[in-house]
Copies of this chain bind each other. A is one copy, B any other.
Amino acid sequence: MRRPATMKDVADAAGVAQSTVSRILNDAPVLIRVSEATRTRVRAIASELGYQPHPFARALRGAPSMLLGAVVRDITDPFFAPAIEALSLQAKERGYSVVLGHARATPDEALALTAVLEARQCDAIVLLGDLGEVPRLVEDLRKSHVRVVALWHGTQHHGHGFPTVSVDNRAGIRAALTHLTALEHRHIAFIGGDSHGDIRERKAAYVEYLREAGLEQPDGYIRDVPNGISGGEQALSALLKLRQRPTAIITATDILAMGAIHAAYENAVAVPEELSIVGFDDIPIAAAAVPTLTTVRMPLTEIVSAGVELAVGDGAWSTSGLGELPRLVFEPDLVVRRSTAKAAPQSPAGRGVRGN
């Protein structure tokens, strides 16, 4: 039980050559000219000894490692948990296991190297989120020899030469804003940041839409905060202090929205009666928020699925090398729940009437 059994062990025990064992254990069709006698004997001994093939040795011979690397921008971002789940599931369906990489933790040179070092073990790498903050890592990855696919890098800045899969941020924000304006909101603020591509794009789409719609946009309506619950809380508290309070808020992510909802509650501002809030991503908890969160559903499965296909599928993009880099964009849907309602005409009268 100490040392795992090797092919040689099996061969010795069976009184045959190690190469014979290899043949028998690998060839699925029984037809591959090996005598049935030795075949069964070797098989029996192999399972008796608990033989397991050694993946490293196989990989050394050029076999795929069946390892899919996942480098997450910020593993503490709640959005990526479902993303990793989805990735893990998709990978498994293709027989791959997921290796978690680290981007944020120590964005120094040494770490970047390490990440690439790990890369050697993987058949492909999936980048989750905008890794603009660790350019060195991206650089190393580019001159690495594994296939790299970037998910949620935004649709704009494609400095790196990786195929990308993203969501149509502009369409999502426009859907959300169309919903709010249809509810007669005229004072709509935005909570987001500049941290990474997707959020920047969402902000840009907000600015664009408001300009087009000719909606007022006082100073302070755009809140740049870190992407987290407390970021959302801070931003909302600040917005409530504004002379012209917004009647609706659109947040760049659901996590910000959750923080905003909570801060509204703490400040005794009724959602949606006094304030409508829209999120982005449709993370699982959004459907159980109090009140349930109107948000833009991220086509998570589609995006991850496409990413995995690009990474380890038998797609043709790798073979070409010259053709256009795939740049897939998936469309999100607006999910209307209870955190949005018609704008209150003047003073909030509907407080406590939970539109049920």
Which residue numbers of A lie inside 8 Å of B, CB to CB? Answer: 1-4, 50, 52-57, 59-60, 65, 67, 75-76, 78, 81, 84-85, 88-89, 92, 95, 97-102, 105-106, 114, 116-118, 120-121, 143-145, 229, 233, 258-259, 261-262, 265-266, 268, 284-285, 287-292, 352, 354, 356
Contacts and interface: CB of A to CB of B under 8 A. Distances in A.
B102 A88 contact: yes
Given A78-B284, A121-B56, A288-B233, A99 B97 contact: yes
A268 to B, nearest CB: 7
Given A92-B102, A262-B288, A352-B352, 10 more contacts: A2-B145, A4-B145, A53-B120, A56-B60, A60-B60, A97-B100, A97-B102, A97-B118, A229-B284, A285-B285
Contact of A117 (B53, B116, B120): B53
B290 A289 contact: yes
A108 to B, nearest CB: 13
A99 B98 CA distance: 6
A265 B291 contact: yes
A108 B50 CA distance: 19
23 contacts: A2-B145, A53-B117, A53-B120, A55-B118, A56-B57, A56-B120, A56-B121, A75-B85, A75-B88, A81-B84, A88-B102, A89-B105, A92-B105, A97-B102, A97-B118, A99-B100, A229-B284, A229-B288, A261-B288, A265-B291, A268-B354, A285-B285, A352-B352
A97 B101 contact: yes
Contacts of A56: 56-57, 59-60, 65, 120-121
Given A285-B258, A288-B233, A1 B78 contact: no
Contact of A290 (B53, B57, B92, B290): B290
Contact of A356 (B65, B99, B268): B268
A105 B94 CA distance: 13
A265 B284 contact: no
Nearest to A118: B97
B268 A290 contact: no
Nearest to A5: B145
Contact of A100 (B4, B100, B287, B356): B100
B88 A100 contact: yes
A23 to B, nearest CB: 19
A143 B50 contact: yes
A279 to B, nearest CB: 13
A177 B291 CA distance: 28
A229 B288 CA distance: 7
A305 to B, nearest CB: 15
B81 A288 contact: no
B75 A120 contact: no
B259 A288 contact: yes
Contacts of A59: 56
Nearest to A267: B356
Contacts of A262: 288-290, 292
B285 A54 contact: no
A98 B97 contact: no
Nearest to A145: B4
A120 B285 contact: no
